[in-house]
Structure 1
Amino acid sequence: MPPEGCDCIEDRLVTFKGLRILGLGGSYRYSPGEHQYTERQMRWRIAKQKPKLWMKGGVDLLVTHAPAYKLGDGEDLCHRGFESFVSFLDHYRPSYMLHGHQHLNYGRNERVRQYKDTTLINGFGYYLLHI
């Protein structure tokens, strides 16, 4: 049963109080199981959002489980980020990307970083973002 008081944004572009938010969950495929995707599968999930992104005029906040490749990800396959997220950031230039999957208590201590026009935030534990 999903948590009460919230909406699932998985594979959806929603607008809340004028903020355009896109949700893409899942991690890089490293073993059999659910919620793991190959690079090709993630590119396809993003491609399916293009009509909505065009109609809404883009996106302000990208919310993902995994980080973008080489932008806060890990060295091992389990914690690898998606290259397709980097392409997404280059093309759509959202103001923010909020991701998880990288536990800061495992030596990954950079919570906030900048990539071009996008502020990338590792939401491990919690993070208050004032917009």
Structure 2
Amino acid sequence: MIRVLALLMLAACSAGTPHFRDLPATRVAVNGSVFDVRLRGDLAEAVRVNSQYAPRLGPIRDRAALAMAQVSGCPIADVLGDAAVTVGVLACDQKAADRLLMAAVTPTHYECIDFGTYKSGLDTGYEVFECTPY
């Protein structure tokens, strides 16, 4: 009974915010951070689901942007949030994304290697990427 309760509580942690709650999540790992990514319109949400000691937003923000880009197939114009939940603006239509940004931001380019799907136990698995700036 305790195991079931603990499993339900853990599942609720990655349920997503109200705007993204009913959408299916794609689990992606980028450089040691694991995210559940959901897409709705021109927005993407990345919920970090693994534990990390004292994560700072800077590195988590970059990893979340990479995860959202991998799932959506679009560049990410901007990312807001904290070390647990971030929301990104998708820039599939670059002209629309330019209107959303108040200042020009020089994007950092990354080269990502897809290491395939990680599976453990009953988990359905998730994509694992290792990304380095160039």
Tell me the TM-score normalised to structure 1 length: 0.24
**Which structure has greater strand proportion?**
2
Report which of the two structures shows the higher radius of gyration computed on alpha carbons: 2
